[in-house]
């Protein structure tokens, strides 16, 4: 396996992991955790705010990974557009 192929593989794996984490944190926040203040929601609200932060930072890293992915495949993109 060439060095460029290894880099592409690592970027693809990182992108998959980041997308999985984005999906997981998004679904947990949307479906499981309580929204807004209220009685008995202290821990759930704290976890929700933490996961929102994780979700946002993961989204930024995912955008960077996709940018690198597109950059590594730029010759393919140019030849097929």
Rounded to an integer, the average pLDDT of 52-66 is 97
Residue given tokens 């495949």 in the structure block: 73
d(CA 31, CA 44) in angstroms, rounded, equals 12
Q: What distance in Å separates the CA atoms of residue 74 and residue 66, rounded to the nearest whole number?
A: 12
Only one residue has tokens 């947990």, namely: 28
Determine phi and psi for 56, rounding to 5 degrees: -65, -45
Confirm if 61 and 11 have CB atoms less than 8 A apart. Answer: no
And the tokens for 41?
Answer: 């929601």
pLDDT on residue 40:
64
13-47 pLDDT, tens digit per residue, is 999 999 999 999 999 999 988 777 666 667 878 88
When divided into structural domains, the chain yields a total of: 1
What's the domain range around 7?
A: 3-80
Q: Percent of the chain, pLDDT > 90?
A: 73
The rounded mean pLDDT for the chain is 91
Q: Comparing 40 with 8, which gets the higher pLDDT?
A: 8
**How many Å apart are CA 26 and CA 79, to the nearest integer?**
36
pLDDT the model gives residue 6 = 95
């Amino acid at each position: 396996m060439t060095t460029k192929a290894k880099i592409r593989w690592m970027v693809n794996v990182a992108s998959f992991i980041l997308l999985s984490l984005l999906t997981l944190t998004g679904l947990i926040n949307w479906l499981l955790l309580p929204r807004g203040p209220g009685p008995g929601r202290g821990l759930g609200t704290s976890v929700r705010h933490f996961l929102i932060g994780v979700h946002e930072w993961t989204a930024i890293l995912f955008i960077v990974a996709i940018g690198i992915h597109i950059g590594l495949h730029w010759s393919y993109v140019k030849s097929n557009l």
